[in-house]
Structure 1
Amino acid sequence: MGNIIAWVILGLIAGAIAKAIYPGAQGGGILATIVLGVVGSFLGGMLFTLFQTGKFVLIGSNAINIPSIIVAIIGALVAIWLWGLINRSA
């Protein structure tokens, strides 16, 4: 349970930072930022754990540190980019 809470908090932080540094207007409000940040945080964390250990783990660790924030921000940026692609094509 602690892992999920840590990744949600990390997602909130990552979503806010990613939205601030992503170029252009993304649309959506704070709720979209939260959701995309949490989704990006989970995806980034899972992929980082997969590349680091070779194992697919749903949630790797409950530590909020600089490397996990960087991975979460990158994941949130990718989630925002994918969301933009989906919205433009619709």
Structure 2
Amino acid sequence: MLEEYSWFWWIVIGLIAGAIAKLIMPGKDPGGCFVTILLGIAGALLAGFLGKAVGWYDEGEGAGFIAAIVGALIILGIYRMVLKKR
């Protein structure tokens, strides 16, 4: 039953992680709330992938909340660099 709602929790954690990343790295970014959610979700996925690669997380285990925020900061930084070059 918990797996049925996992997508919902990814969105909730992504929203919160993205919002915190935006507070840590304020600036004018296009996209608003939707992009913030996507950046947070991508950050959580990035943190989980990197954590598994270095052995911090086991298979099937997601990234922690702080790791999701760090991942969202990384994604936000990359996002800004790509937009700046345009």
> TM class by shorter-chain length?
0.7 to 0.9
Q: Please state if 1:50 is matched with 2:53.
A: yes
User: Are residue 35 (structure 1) and residue 27 (structure 2) matched?
Assistant: no
Residues 11-42 of structure 1: CA distance to partner in whole angstroms, max 9, x if unpaired?
Answer: 12111111111143333300110111111110
1:75 counterpart letter in structure 2: G
Partners of 1:38 and 1:20 in 2: how far apart? 16
SS in 2 for 1:61: coil
Q: What are structure 2's unaligned runs of at least 5 residues? A: none
Q: Does 1:83 align with 2:86?
A: no
Identity of aligned residues (%): 36
Write the letter of the residue equivalent to 1:42.
L
Distance across 1 between alignment mates of 2:11 and 2:57: 24
Structure 1 gap segments, 5+ residues each = none
2:65 equivalent to 1:69 = yes
Q: Distance in 1 between matches of 2:57 and 2:15?
A: 27
Q: Which amino acid aligns with 1:82?
A: I
TM-score w.r.t. the length of structure 2 is 0.77
